[in-house]
Amino acid sequence: MSRLRSLIHLTYAQKLSLIAAIPLVVAVAAIAAVVAYEARATAEREIRALQDRMLEAKKAELRNYVTQARNGFYFVYGPAAPDDQQAKDRVTQILAAMIYGKEGSFFVYDYDGTNLVNPRRTEFINRDMTGLTDSEGTPIVDELIELARQGSGYHTFLWPKPSTGREERMIAYVLGLQDWQWAVGTGVFIDDVLATVATERAEVEARTRRTFLYIGGIVLAALLIVFASGMLLNTRERRLADAKLKRLTQRVFDAQEEERGRVARELHDGISQILVGVRYALDNARRRLDRGDRDAAREPLNTGIDNLGSAISEVRRISRDLRPRVLDDLGLGPALRALTEDFAERTGIETEFSTVVFRNRLDQDSKIALYRIAQEALTNIERHSGASHVSIDLRGHKSGATMRITDNGRGLPPGNERGTGLGLRNMQERIEQLDGTLRILSTKGKPGGTVIEASLPLSHLLPPEEEAPNMKEASR
């Protein structure tokens, strides 16, 4: 079973091609069915019309034969009395001699069913033929007599063909001589008509099969084109995705290395230097204690204690930069306020944070993204802008949430407004992950500056009942 599942497991390209091919196959199959139905219906109507025309021609031919025969003996039948046997014998001789073609002849039955004339089947003459039927059970003589009593008519039945001896379909026309109570008629075989109709039907079937083959060929070609296009598109998209994934992976590595370098510099330039000072002060105090000068050892000990306090504060600052607990405990507003206050204290840049009454209803991913964007923006301002004033504004609205960071620095370099730098790309990717938007506006000269505006959709705001109990109050 597992092998079977592995065999029918489809790749993305195969699924894409299948999704594209199924509607095409269904549509073409429906079109083919409709075309075939309409073609068959139209052809059947044409064949029936052809058959009707050919049968009408046969009937007209039969009527003409009987009319000519009647004209041939009417000079005898007209003046004869109903019981004129001599006239009847002469008429039977005239009709018996009227043989035409390889199959044609006239027949005569009296209304009692006795065969009087049948030059092609002489064994029937003077025999009572009532009740005669063909192989399909169709009455022959009885029906012909009934039509003659009514005046005239056509009758179709199976009859042995003289040239082959096999039963073939015949259509007969009979005329009634009411004075003598005779049924006079002749018939023609319509196997040629049936053969023509069968040939036409065979041609229709052949055309229908050819149409299906053409449609099948077109569908196969279309499926091949769809499959090839899907494979080419999938290959191209896979290459683009691989290239994008490689660039993204490289950016992740670069961001990791940059963060590691920053932490390493802060550890080396900050904590390491402080701890070196602590070690120096403790060594100095130990030497003085070894000499027995306890009063002189108090000053380096106090210095070491102060430096340890500074080291602890630095460790807390680095920890807060990596993952501020206030963001988890109190929410985004207090975390941004703490971030701006620490930035102002560290850099001396005047920093202002403002927000409306904004309940902490953002989901966790959104809070982290906005906090990191603010952190990245402040880092860029500190390193590159030369700004003297920074303001951060956070507010919620009916469309979602927006954070706006403004500085009065020198602005971004030309061509970098769309976020081509690593930090700006990180901001862009963070906000795009949440279906938000990031706008960067920069002005060179004086007054200049940069505006970074990050907006999140309303879908990232939690309903009021989902707020955490310790996050009910918002920062102002």
- Which is more confident, 170 or 36? 170
Q: Are strands 389-397 and 400-407 parallel, antiparallel or unpaired?
A: antiparallel
What phi and psi, each to the nearest 5 degrees, are found at residue 397?
A: -150, 180
What average pLDDT does the structure give for the chain? Answer: 81
| Confidence band for 399, pLDDT divided at 50, 70 and 90 | confident
- Note whether 377 and 452 are within 8 A (CB): yes
Domain ranges of the chain: 80-189, 325-471
**Whether pLDDT at 476 is above 60:** no
Residue 171 burial (CB count, 10 A): 19
What are the structure tokens assigned to 155, written together?
């009758």
pLDDT at 460: 73
Helix, strand, coil shares of the chain, percent, nearest 5, are 60, 15, 20
The more confidently predicted of residues 246 and 106 is 106
Task: Evaluate the omega torsion of the peptide bond into residue 160 and state whether it is cis, within 30 degrees of 0.
Answer: no
Of all residues in the chain, the percent with pLDDT exceeding 70 is 86
**The two three-digit tokens of residue 81, written as one number:** 């009395």
pLDDT of res. 467: 47
What would the mean pLDDT of 387-392 be, rounded to a whole number?
A: 90
- Answer whether 62's CB lies under 8 Å from 173's CB: yes
Q: How many residues does the chain have?
A: 476
Measured in degrees and rounded to the nearest 5, phi and psi for residue 297 equal -75, -15
Quick one: tokens of 148?
A: 């003659």
Q: Give the three-class secondary structure for 177.
A: strand
| Residue 417: Cβ-neighbour burial (10 angstroms; 0-12, 13-18, 19+) | middle
Give, as one character, the DSSP assignment of residue 140: -
Distance CA 359, CA 195 (A): 91
Q: Which fold has domain 80-189?
A: Beta-Lactamase (3.30.450)
3-state secondary structure of 51: helix
Looking at the predicted structure, is the pLDDT value of residue 15 above 90?
no
- pLDDT above 90 (res 103): no
Percent of the chain at pLDDT above 90?
20
Q: Give the best-scoring range by mean pLDDT among 148-162, 251-265, 286-300, 328-342.
A: 148-162
For residue 358, name the pLDDT band (cuts at 50, 70, 90): low
According to CATH, the superfamily of the domain at 325-471 is: Histidine kinase-like ATPase, C-terminal domain (3.30.565.10)
**8: pLDDT strictly greater than 60:** no
Q: Per residue in 131-159, pLDDT tens?
A: 999 999 999 999 999 999 999 999 999 99
Q: Which residue has the higher pLDDT, 465 or 245?
A: 245
**pLDDT given for residue 472 in this prediction:** 44
Q: 65-80, pLDDT tens digit by residue? A: 899 988 988 899 889 9
Q: Which residues of 22-56 are buried (b: 16+ CB within 10 A; e: fewer)?
A: eeeeeebeeebeeebeeeeeebeeebeeebeebbe
Phi first, then psi, for residue 81 (nearest 5°) are -85, 160
Instruction: Please name the residue ranges forming H helices in 78-162.
Output: 85-97, 141-149
